Amino acid sequence: MTFLQENVPEVIDWPSCSPDLNPIENIWAIIKQKVEYCMLNNLKELERYMIKEWQAIPESILKNLVDSMRRRCQEVLKKNGELINY
């Protein structure tokens, strides 16, 4: 919370079950895809691998996800809250 208070201008409540409006779901999908093909032996290896993959996500992907939020919100509104193609 301290990090958010010091670094994020405004934190909004996010719909808890709305993957269309939750960009972290896209990030987890990227990491999950890489982890599924990795042969790890224990939880410590998994933890190290997850941290490495998290840090390896290109900034351009993060920027694209942030930039897509306005369009996503507009599409969800247009579809009255129904799922969108994202």
Structure confidence by residue, pLDDT tens digits, 18-36: 666 788 888 988 898 888 8
pLDDT < 50 positions in the chain: none
pLDDT at 16: 52
Is 7 a domain residue?
Answer: no
Residue 2 lies in a domain: no
Residues 6+ apart with CB under 8 A from 83: 20
pLDDT of residue 55: 93
The pTM of this model reads 0.61
Amino acid 68 reads: S
Cα–chain-centroid distance for residue 32? 12
The reported pLDDT for the residue numbered 17 is 58
Is the separation of the CB atoms in 77 and 65 below 8 Å?
no
Instruction: Kindly state whether residue 5 falls inside one of the protein's structural domains.
Output: no
Residue 16 maps to a domain: no
**Structural domain that includes position 74:** 23-86
* Number of structural domains in the chain: 1
Residue 4 included in any domain: no
